[in-house]
Copies of this chain bind each other. A is one copy, B any other.
């Protein structure tokens, strides 16, 4: 049966069950976040003990709501969830997000099985339990019970992120928002009692607002269906996966976290790689890879040019490229060398890495990148901007954003620092330019991009 997740992610009406008047309670935080986010659909606080919550009329049960409910967000103690879900079913609520914990992850397996039975009886796709729920930057649905002062919400974009862990998901969201690149959907699915990896991956595969899929998973419930889907999904869009529970120590921890059975990682990794998934080794790589794929430029080859205003950073990047599996430094054509020679000051040595020197400003960067972008021997351009130097300022960032719009080769930036540099990084990321803070992260991300491009070529 086809599962329709649109009521959950694009709801026109949301019931929040357990919408307390107490601002410390999860249900209150969720309702408040909907109001603060300017959600334009209908909101129904469900609370048997209040007439109104946060200025909205409250209902004793979803059964008392007259309009249709696209999604019920359930934040009540575990033992009450079956009753609430049954009422949702009777009220023909279209989908349910159970944020409450206290199910299989603490051994309450029967209780979890009971809620799955109820959800399926009423054909009500159910997310969770033991999860943060969903966020969609376009529909502005946002069930995260985390205060916005603690976690920034990302801007609208095309990366969708499904995370078995709510907390891991929320830290990644925070980083995505802080760095300034955009998000389409976030789905925290916890115990995966009903909706699981396969359902969610299938939905994101077919979602036109999703161009890059990022997955944090602890276990895979339906191996056979997952493999069938894996075969298809990467032909449509890139998928980045971080699998926790890769070791036996991690696998034991994963089981007590979301009751996941981690399985044999060697087998899983082989499957991921065979089907062109980009496998992140660490939390930070998840974000690094997401950025590079979100920038949506496919490399035609493995030859990279490095432009820098700091010699040492150029050397380190050359080292990282030379040590990489797939990449090599480009050899500029005679024409490019002539062009650079005529445009650069005498002190600039025409080589790759091209060291523009510490006084380089927007003009020198623009001249260099323009010349190199037309070089037939260059497939990708890594631009190092150390904003601590006297010459580099926001005009350099603006220039790179502008060039990124016209140059049909991957352009990435490396920039390390805080304060002033951080502000520049956000400017670049908001303009669609991925920024890395070390040569190693820049190179491993470009490698992931190259590997995916190679995978697609092999499929063609």
Query: What residues make up the interface of A, taking CB atoms closer than 8 Å to B?
Result: 24, 26, 29, 101-102, 105-106, 145-147, 149-152, 163-175, 177-179, 216, 218, 242, 244-250, 252-254, 256-258, 281-284, 309-316, 318-323, 328-329, 347, 349, 351, 353, 355, 357-358, 386-390, 416-422, 437-441
Contacts and interface: CB of A to CB of B under 8 A. Distances in A.
Nearest to A167: B310
A315 B418 contact: no
Given A150-B388, A175-B416, A246-B323, 13 more contacts: A102-B347, A151-B420, A163-B312, A165-B310, A166-B310, A167-B310, A167-B313, A167-B386, A170-B388, A170-B389, A178-B417, A178-B419, A218-B315
Given A246-B323, A353-B253, A388 B439 contact: no
Given A151-B388, A257-B311, A347-B106, A316 B167 contact: no
A143 to B, nearest CB: 14
Contacts of A258: 311-312
Contact of A168 (B316, B321, B351, B422): B316
Nearest to A130: B311
A438 to B, nearest CB: 4
Contacts of A387: 150
A146 B389 contact: yes
A267 B105 CA distance: 51
A250 B318 contact: yes
B347 A145 contact: no
A164 B347 contact: no
Given A170-B386, A253-B353, A349-B106, A315 B420 contact: no
A247 to B, nearest CB: 3
9 contacts: A106-B349, A165-B312, A167-B313, A167-B358, A171-B388, A174-B388, A178-B419, A250-B316, A257-B355
B310 A171 contact: yes
A176 to B, nearest CB: 9
A63 to B, nearest CB: 30
Nearest to A393: B150
Given A152-B419, A171-B386, A250 B283 contact: no
Nearest to A243: B319
A56 to B, nearest CB: 22
Contacts of A170: 386, 388-389
A283 B416 CA distance: 9
A311 B190 CA distance: 11
A307 B437 CA distance: 28
B167 A283 contact: no
A349 B107 CA distance: 11
Given A167-B309, A283-B438, A440-B281, A257 B315 contact: yes
Nearest to A312: B165
A320 B282 contact: yes
